[in-house]
Amino acid sequence: MPDAARPAIPVPGTTSHTLAARDRREGALRYLKAGSGTPPVLLHTVRTQAEHFRALIPLVADRFTGYALDLPGMGYSEIVPGASYDEPAMRAGVERLLTGLDLEDVTLLGESMGAVLALTTAAGLPDRVRRVIAGVEPKAALRRILRGGLGDKTACARTT
């Protein structure tokens, strides 16, 4: 993936990064990063990209180091001909981000398919993932997090 690739949708305060592929079967992963503090990792749904969270990232960047991943084969992450893009392959991409950047005490926030990946990744990496926020539309949970921070235990309560 060329470093010159720039997102078409600007996200204030973010920088775009690429995690290199380890072999020919996987592609380079692109992610956005902003802020400082404990790391929430944002996982989008199918047929979108990291900029899907463009309204959220600036809201949390003053308290957290936010990472928004372009899932394998989506957004600006590399498409590898013949590669699998099923759940285990997508989960491997999320795991590669967490281990490749040595992220710990992570909150995974996923929407729709990203929610499934957040849950399955947390099950496979319990020493790295502290919390999961999984849903179809996570805005209500995000409002609670912004009021009480990622340490707020009520943030995971049922939101209707």
The structure's pTM equals 0.81
Structural domain contains residue 65: yes
Give residue-wise pLDDT tens across range 124-145.
999 999 999 887 665 565 666 5
Structural domain contains residue 62: yes
Structural domain contains residue 102: yes
Residue 3 has pLDDT above 60, yes or no: no
- Dihedral, CA of residue 127, residue 133, residue 136 and residue 141, to nearest 10: -170
Structural domain contains residue 63: yes
Give residue-wise pLDDT tens across range 59-110.
888 889 999 999 999 999 999 999 999 999 999 999 999 999 999 999 999 9
Q: What's the pLDDT band for 5 if we cut at 50, 70, 90?
A: low
* Domain CATH for 88: 3.40.50.1820
Residue 53 structural domain: 15-150
- Tally the domains of the chain: 1
Structural domain contains residue 90: yes
- Comparing CA positions, the residue from 75, 73, 72, 29 lying closest to residue 50 is 75
